[in-house]
Amino acid sequence: MLSVLLNSPANTTINYLPIVIQLVVAIGFVAFMMSVTHLLGPKRRTSDKLANFESGIESVGNARQPMAIKYFLVAILFVLFDVEVIFFYPYAVNFKALGKEGFLAVLMFVAFFLVGFIYIRKRGALDWEE
């Protein structure tokens, strides 16, 4: 019954069942290894050993300080552009069916994409040198 459903061309939720099985196996493997290494290793804790490593000198302050804004900017730009890239996927799969008209429409979409891209470049959002 199940194998009939699985071999049918219609892609249904049942096709994802093996992935769930693999997830369970992988979680079991990771949890097992983590507990084994926890039980096997020696435990001789000292306060110096549990201090954070900072090239052998005493650590100064907390590490969780404000970071350079550039990293944040990259993350925001990624979200913006990745959403646009995801829109290309359904188009690419149906590319041959959509033909010339579809291609011209996508050209327009790429133009919008490029306008945004050129704008962030002109504003220096991607310049890391300074």
Residue ranges in 85-124 that form contacts with other proteins under rule CB under 8 A: 85-86, 88-89, 92-96, 99-100, 103, 106-107, 110, 113-114, 117, 121
The least distance separating other proteins from the CB of residue 64, rounded to whole angstroms, comes to 7
Q: Which of residues 4-33 bind other proteins (CB under 8 A)?
A: 6-7, 11, 15-19, 21-23, 25-27, 29-31, 33
- The widest CA-to-CA distance across the chain, in whole angstroms, is 71
Q: Which of residues 40-59 bind other proteins (CB under 8 A)?
A: 40-45, 47, 49-55, 59
Q: Using alpha carbons only, what angle is made at residue 86 by residues 83 and 92, rounded to the nearest 5 degrees?
A: 150
The answer to whether 80 and 116 are in contact (CB under 8 A) is yes
Task: Tell me the residue ranges of DSSP E strands in 9-115.
Answer: none
Element (H, E) at 73: helix 69-93
- Can residue 69 be called a binding residue for other proteins (CB under 8 A)? no
Distance CA 73, CA 87 (A): 22
Number of residues that bind other proteins (CB under 8 A): 72
The least distance separating other proteins from the CB of residue 53, rounded to whole angstroms, comes to 6
